Amino acid sequence: MVKDQEFLENKASYCIDLAKKLGATDISVNVGSSISETVNFRNKKLDESNRSDNLGIEITTYIGKKKSSISSSNILKDNLNTLLEKCIETTKSTPEDEYNTLPDKHLLAKEVKDLDLFDDTHIENDKKIEYLSILEISASKDNKIINTESSFVEDKSNFILANSDGFCQGFKTSSFVASSVAVAKDAKSMERDYEYTLKCHLKDIQNAEELGKIAAEQTIRKLSPKKISSEKIAIIFDKRIAKGILSTFASAIASSVISRGTSFLKDKINEKIFSDTISVLDRPDILKGLGSKSFDSEGVKMNTLKLVDQGVLMHYLVDTYNGKKLNLESNGRCGGTSNLYFENGKITYKDLLNSHKKCLYITETIGHGSNIVTGDYSVGATGFLIEDGEFKYPINEITIAGNFKDMFKNITLANDLEFKYATNSPTMMIEGMVVAGK
């Protein structure tokens, strides 16, 4: 079992009291405990089974405007004493930074909401093996499938975040992840694809047979891809790719890059950066949400933010340090977003496919081609050619390119939003992107 709240609180309190005695003006402590169990299969046979137990602490001490941090996996008393002494000495010799400070006290969370993020159910290894056996058989039914890999991971964690201003809160989380990777081959090509399910509660994960079936189908349909010529064309991004566009947007509105002036979205608050139909929310209080939390990694209370309202950028993601630089109050986004998503569009998935006589449907991108300084976007991609709303054949070896300043204003979203991840998007179409082919 993971360590309970009382144990973690006692460790945090001990560090805060000792740090104050050693001369710290302020201190922040994060103590965490986690257990992870993993079972892996390869080609319908057990490949690996392991368990890891982790216990760790991170301490940040302040002396005036000087700050330093230290971490360890050893939280025995003698080691904590040594850690704190080292951290204090390091802090004393660190240059001052006028923006170094704990969060403003009035912003700290007063309570932890029960968001149903922890399932104490434990699934024994033989049950994990049984699940993966069914999954692997399902994924291997078609003789075009020549290789399969799958895994089942069960995680439990608990933590306490405390500081010298009296904040002391934490909560437990759990996750159950099952994944299936398949490799298919025919006379013309060999292709790979995957599917996975990730939930806070065991009962909510996808059926093993269905998961394996989807992984196999998605792999087989990519066989015998064709090359296409270069052109300017509308591109439809599958939901699992579209959410990456949203993640890039989040990176570009982080206060750290805004304060450095290294984002194409600097100085864009209250300006229209998307079309009127686009709104973006970050909502931390979704029950069982994979990104749900009551406070950020500094203890600042998190509330729902409408980051984009009818195309207009309303907020940056602000933490304490960079907020001070920008003269903005922290909005609880130290460590990033919670449950980030585009609001549903008004067009059906089918109508989106039929909106152009010819378009491309992208299921995979290759490489990290997002430049948040300039907004340039260029990645390798694979997917399918769509004509008259029908998937015609798979395509590969293309590069798609554009600039987010233009791409954001040319987005059309379907109404098929699902909350499968911490960042979610409906199926997305972007008009007029450049495709480099053969």
Q: Give the model's pLDDT for residue 305.
A: 98
Going from the C-alpha of 255 to that of each of 36, 216, 283, 317, 371, the distances in angstroms are 33, 42, 18, 6, 16
Q: How far apart are CA 330 and CA 319, in angstroms?
A: 5
Q: Give the model's pLDDT for residue 137.
A: 97
Q: Give the model's pLDDT for residue 367.
A: 86
What contacts 424, CB < 8 A, 6 or more positions away?
239, 243, 246, 339, 340, 341, 342, 417, 418
pLDDT band at 369 (very low <50, low <70, confident <90, very high): confident
pLDDT, tens only, 199-232: 999 999 999 999 999 999 999 999 999 999 999 9
Q: Give the model's pLDDT for residue 322.
A: 98
Q: Give the pLDDT mean for 414-429.
A: 97
Q: Give the model's pLDDT for residue 151.
A: 98
Going from the C-alpha of 426 to that of each of 219, 240, 275, 346, the distances in angstroms are 22, 9, 16, 11
pLDDT, tens only, 277-314: 999 999 999 999 999 999 999 999 999 999 999 999 99
Other CB atoms within a 10 A radius of the CB of residue 438 amount to: 9
* Among candidate residues 402, 74, 94, 423, the one with its CA nearest the CA of residue 249: 423
Do the beta carbons of residue 370 and residue 264 sit within 8 Å? no
- Residue for token digits 């982080």? 254
List beta partners, residue 364.
382
Q: Give the model's pLDDT for residue 153.
A: 98
pLDDT, tens only, 48-107: 999 999 999 999 999 999 999 999 999 999 999 999 999 999 999 999 999 999 999 999
Q: Give the model's pLDDT for residue 212.
A: 98
pLDDT, tens only, 8-34: 999 999 999 999 999 999 999 999 999
Tokens of 250: 């989040």
pLDDT band at 1 (very low <50, low <70, confident <90, very high): confident
Q: Give the model's pLDDT for residue 286.
A: 98
- Dihedral (CA of 93, 96, 97, 102) sign: positive
* Among candidate residues 240, 245, 304, 316, the one with its CA nearest the CA of residue 278: 245
Q: Give the pLDDT mean for 146-154.
A: 98
Going from the C-alpha of 324 to that of each of 24, 267, 300, 334, the distances in angstroms are 21, 16, 14, 13
Q: Give the model's pLDDT for residue 300.
A: 98
pLDDT band at 368 (very low <50, low <70, confident <90, very high): confident
* Among candidate residues 168, 171, 159, the one with its CA nearest the CA of residue 16: 168
Q: How far apart are CA 370 and CA 281, in angstroms?
A: 21
Architecture of the domain whose range is 5-220? 2-Layer Sandwich (3.30)
Q: How far apart are CA 122 and CA 2, in angstroms?
A: 12
User: How large is the C-alpha radius of gyration of the chain?
Assistant: 24
* Among candidate residues 372, 435, 347, the one with its CA nearest the CA of residue 245: 372
Q: Give the model's pLDDT for residue 15.
A: 97
Q: Give the pLDDT mean for 165-174.
A: 97
Threshold 0.85, pTM exceeds: yes
3-state secondary structure the chain: CCCCHHHHHHHHHHHHHHHHHCCCCEEEEEEEEEEEEEEEEECCEEEEEEEEEEEEEEEEEEECCEEEEEEECCCCHHHHHHHHHHHHHHHHCCCCCCCCCCCCHHHECCCCCCCCCCCCCCCCHHHHHHHHHHHHHHHCCCCCEEEEEEEEEEEEEEEEEEECCCCEECCEEEEEEEEEEEEEECCCCEEEEEEEEEECCHHHCCCHHHHHHHHHHHHHCCCCCECCCCEEEEEEECHHHHHHHHHHHHHHCEHHHHHHCCCCCCCCCCCECCCCCCCEEECCCCCCCCCCCCECCCCEECCCEEEEECCEECCCECCHHHHHHHCCCCCCCCCCCCCEEECCCCECHHHHHCCCCEEEEEEEEECCCECCCCCEEEEEEEEEEEECCEEEEEEEEEEEEEEHHHHHHHEEEECCCCCCCCEECCCEEEEEEEEECC
Tokens of 101: 């400070």
Do the beta carbons of residue 48 and residue 39 sit within 8 Å? yes
438, pLDDT greater than 80: no
Tokens of 372: 């948040």
Q: Give the pLDDT mean for 233-241.
A: 95
Q: Give the model's pLDDT for residue 349.
A: 97
Do the beta carbons of residue 303 and residue 311 sit within 8 Å? no
Q: Give the model's pLDDT for residue 52.
A: 96
pLDDT, tens only, 395-406: 999 999 999 999
Q: Where are the domains of the chain?
A: 5-220, 225-438
